[in-house]
Amino acid sequence: MHIPRRRTVALGLAPLLIAGLASCGLMSDSGDSGSSPKKVENAAMPDPAGSSAAPGGASAPPPAQAAPGTEITVALAGDVHFFERTVPRLNAGAEGALGPIGRTLADADLAMVNLESAITERGTPENKTYHFRAPAKALTELKTVGVDVVSMANNHAVDYGKVGLDDSIAAVQNPPIGVVGIGKDADQAYRPFVKNVKGVKVAFVAASQVQDITNQLYRAGAGKPGIASALQADRLVRAVKDAKAQADVVIVYMHWGIEGDKCPSKDQTGLTRKLADAGAAAVLGTHAHVMQGAGWMGSTYVGYGYGNFLWYGTSPYPNSNDTGVATLTIKDGKVVGEKFTPASIDNRGVPMPVTGAEAKRILDRRDTLRPCTGLTATPKK
């Protein structure tokens, strides 16, 4: 039986075992209580929006230092929400919210997706075509299948106005997983979520470059709640530099690009260069509803578009059901390799792993998306 890294233990003896370990002083509070054995070390429950400061103001124990050459893995996937046909995934039972491909996320040391949704059950829909929301339970369900952190810096995070935003902000004050890209003010929205894995400190930052009503009306500022905006490029660059000062590895999750376009825009490529220069080890994104090319810009890994992942309906763009998980191997602060697990979104909206000819088709097509990005297939030495 496969028991993924952070999937919730459901064995009958688990409560007794946990109690026994606790009484012997063999368990530490790493924010993942009730989960299967973890590879994450010294990761305190995040404070608002995901900083790794110790809870209650207490000093955290010094984190373990990584031995030279230590390798860790980070799994990354695209847009997720619980709407229409994907609502049942909030109660998917043993299969988990993301279905079988959740194992690929859970088997990595860390995993991240974009939560394309407000976290609310109230509010008035904004003046826009599509509106997505989910209960706070969505964060718990994503944790159960092995997701460590989500971005909420996207054009659907405030679909239900100020009331919905207030609920989302409340939900991320003490979340079961890290949440980045949204906050009660700019400091919180741009703040990284940091976790220590095998002595390697990994920081996650997120922002949206989409020029829409959310970025116009609900951009986080001084004393103003909202999302982290990449339209303020200097502010995002500063956030990446601040994250780099706290961590060995910085991963930036963007919401950007033009819907349906398989190639990155000049805005995407220009900002990526700035983020790489600021110290990002990886820059990735979603929003186009289709996959865009991936590779390296110098030593920085770039995945311009991971496409839809857990998705409510069929997008009007060719190949919009093609998706997958990119698992990055990180060593000595740099991304040294990538393995892409291809999947196809089924009629339930669930990304199902594929093999054989279908897997080859997706992988081959993904390779054809690289030339228009200017990226290389391997990192620069």
Pairing between strand 193-197 and 200-208? Answer: antiparallel
CA-to-CA separations, 244 to 91, 194, 204, 212, 337, in angstroms, rounded: 38, 10, 10, 29, 21
Residue owning tokens 């952070």: 6
CATH number at 316 reads 3.60.21.10
Q: Are 162 and 206 in contact (CB under 8 A)?
A: no
Does the CA dihedral 89-95-99-105 come out positive or negative? positive
Residue 116 maps to a domain: yes
- The residues facing 344 across adjacent strands are 322, 352
Residue 31 maps to a domain: no
- Taking residue 206's Cβ as centre, other Cβ atoms within 10 Å add up to 33
Q: Are 351 and 324 in contact (CB under 8 A)?
A: yes
Report the amino acid identity of residue 307: G
CA-to-CA separations, 316 to 49, 127, 290, in angstroms, rounded: 34, 22, 10
- Taking residue 366's Cβ as centre, other Cβ atoms within 10 Å add up to 19
Residue 19 maps to a domain: no
The number of domains in the chain is 1
Grouped pLDDT means (10 residues each) for the chain, 381 residues: 43 37 35 38 39 41 75 99 98 96 98 99 97 98 98 98 98 98 98 98 99 97 98 97 98 98 98 99 98 99 98 93 99 98 98 99 98 97 78
Residue 219 maps to a domain: yes
Measured between its terminal Cα atoms, the distance across the chain in Å is 40
pLDDT of residue 42: 36
* Greatest extent of the chain over all pairs of C-alpha atoms, in Å: 58
Q: What is the rounded distance in angstroms from the CA atom of residue 282 to the CA atom of residue 247? A: 13
Residue 7 maps to a domain: no
Write out the two tokens for 141. 């369900």
Q: What is the rounded distance in angstroms from the CA atom of residue 281 to the CA atom of residue 179? A: 19
pLDDT of residue 63: 59
Write out the two tokens for 297. 């810009």
Residue 28 maps to a domain: no
- Taking residue 272's Cβ as centre, other Cβ atoms within 10 Å add up to 25
The domain of 363 spans 48-54+62-373
Residue 320 maps to a domain: yes
- The residues facing 292 across adjacent strands are 305
Residue 172 maps to a domain: yes
Encode 146-155: b = buried (16+ Cβ within 10 Å), e = exposed: bbbbbbbbbb
